[in-house]
Chains A and B, each alone.
Chain A
Amino acid sequence: MTALMTLEGVTRTFGNNVALNNVSLEAHPGEVHCLLGDNGAGKSTLIKIMSGVTAPTLGTLTFDGKAVSFRSPRDAQAYGIGTVHQDVGSIPLISVARNFFLGNEPTKGWGPLRRLDHATANRIALEQIREMGIRRINDAEQLVGTMSGGERQALAIARALYFGAKLLILDEPTAALGVKESKIVIDLMVKARAQGIALVFITHNATHALQVGDRFTVLIQGRVASQFRRGEKTREEVLNLMAGGEEFYAVGHGD
């Protein structure tokens, strides 16, 4: 099976500081690639490179078999790379539909009479969110602020998929969520994977990672400390890699 996105020998420096050092990884369609590592390990730099926010200093990016270099996040989005952020790409005091279509609003009419097509926006937004299994939302005009954290993540994921994401990068989507809410997000990831989407899942939570991960990359101080597939390492080994064993148990499961 060929990878949808491949990073080869990616290095990124900021002045004298080496944030990423010779990192290579692959994201395959229909697989969840977990990106693990402590704070400052280089996870965020890596996803910034993958989503077009910054460019690598060295190394190559391949998407869909072609070498690519993104000029902007917009550019990366156009290729089909969707990013769902921890703080949720949503605005609490505007409606579900307005959030869903932000930046891609459907319009009707012409010239100065060109206006938002509220009916279409409401209908599609509601359809897509309910498709994600969020049945509690029944009004596309309700404020996003009335949704729970998990539901907002679902909105962001639904949005990315609707606008054609083939690769979905999830930046600690469960970090701020409780157990039930996290389950919603994990279930969505499973669902997206089944649709053949390639997922990159950044997390501190080993339980969540082991639950859905097909491939794992552990970063330590900007280098790939380990790369393995599901079942190749025990839970203990993964935890040790992530944070150094005993210490980690002392604080439970990260957040």
Chain B
Amino acid sequence: MQTTTADTPVPATRYGVLERLLRIVWIGPAIAALVIYIFFVIVGGASGFFSVPGTAGWLNTAAELGIIALPIGLLMIAGEFDLSTGSVVGAAAIIVALGTGFYGLPIELTMSMALAMGVAVGCFNAFLVNATRLPSFIVTLASNFILAGTSLGLSRLISGSSNVSLKDAGWAEPIFGSKWMFFNVSVLWYLVAIVLAAWVLKQTRFGNWIFATGGNVDAARRAGVPVARVKLILFIWTAVSAAFVGIMSAVMYNQGNAAQGQGYVFQTAIAAVIGGVLLQGGFGSVIGIVLGTFIYGIVSLGLFYTGWPTDWLATFIGGLLVIAVLTNNFVRELALNRGKKKP
């Protein structure tokens, strides 16, 4: 440790290569992604993991997950959770399928309805969290259940089934359902979502407020950060992204299912944490979250190409999660101790 006193200026070039690398907040997930990728290329490469379809497979998975995981990650950086995304995906899919497939309403109308539902869910979550100060974990868990039951009940009531087909989505078909080689168009949408999230978090005042809200909510409030509004916008962003994925899946698979999407509830949070977002809030990066979704996609698809039974996927992901959390804490400690005076 250095022993400089408060009076002597320290040259700015004192960081070594290792210290520089450790300063990059997404270094952990980057190394993990690389190691896991190489592992599956070696083990599953022969059966096609390293091929174009194999690559498209994990990228497609990462994209659909990532469009929701990005705002989830930002919300977690702001110190809140959202477990209601699963139901929002299902509700949006069934709204589009019922509206356009069953009633024959124009796709732009039903899509708007699905997105409006997302806005409403986001407002509901944010309102409860801001007004009651209850933990968002509980609030959004409740709204996930309320919405899941409602979409299932309404869908069955209206169409007699929880699964409604959507034969023709019109102009929305190429926008949400097209493919290039084996790559879904969702990969492009993911790219748009990444650029947007990265811009907001790194380059805008709002991004600074996200970090502050999660890092020290009282200090943020005293500095004049509109904490309640930050949370409101992020809850809406999350729910609208989930609705977007619901719409996309209804168009892509030509059907909507009220019960679909529950997998996103935990997968998105897992991707964010594997990507280095701190569970307590205040720390994380967009690149990290993206790498987290890549890791999730690579493991999901990679396991399939190894020929091992995919039953073990959850075990693998769970283990990865534990390692990720431990690594995150370690990296954070390193980052905080670097340059600190030892008494």
Contacts and interface: CB of A to CB of B under 8 A. Distances in A.
B12 interface: yes
Interface in A170-191: 178, 184
B341 interface: yes
A136 B219 CA distance: 24
Most-contacted residue by chain A among B207, B212, B222, B336 (CB, 10 A): B222
Contact count band on A = 35 or more
Contacts of B336: 92-93, 143, 145-146
B16 interface: no
A133 to B, nearest CB: 7
Nearest to A187: B6
Interface stretch (A60-68, A81-89, A215-223, A246-254): A81-89
Nearest to A106: B205
Interface residues of B, number: 40
Contacts of A114: 204
A102 B212 contact: yes
Nearest to A148: B341
Contact of A90 (B10, B216, B283, B338): B216
Interface string B217-244: 0111011110000000000000000000
Contact of A135 (B7, B211, B282, B341): B7
Contact of A98 (B8, B208, B222): B208
Contact of A93 (B208, B209, B220, B283): B283
Interface in A62-110: 73-74, 77, 83, 85, 87-94, 98, 101-105, 107
A139 B11 CA distance: 10
Nearest to B77: A93
Given A93-B278, A139-B12, A178-B343, A146 B205 contact: no
A102 B220 contact: yes
Nearest to A147: B340
Contacts, number: 107
Contacts of A18: none
A134 interface: yes
B6 A134 contact: yes
- Which residue, of B6, B219, B224, has the highest number of chain A Cβ atoms within 10 A? B6
Given A116-B204, A146-B339, A92 B215 contact: yes
Nearest to B8: A135
Contact of B6 (A88, A92, A135): A135
B4 interface: yes
Contacts of B222: 73, 83, 85, 89
A116 B208 CA distance: 9
Interface of B: 4-12, 199, 202-205, 207-209, 211-212, 215-216, 218-220, 222-225, 278, 282-283, 332, 335-341, 343
Given A115-B199, A135-B7, 11 more contacts: A73-B222, A73-B224, A92-B215, A104-B224, A105-B205, A135-B6, A136-B4, A136-B8, A146-B339, A146-B340, A178-B343
14 contacts: A73-B222, A88-B219, A92-B215, A93-B336, A94-B208, A94-B212, A98-B212, A104-B224, A107-B205, A115-B204, A116-B205, A133-B6, A145-B336, A146-B339
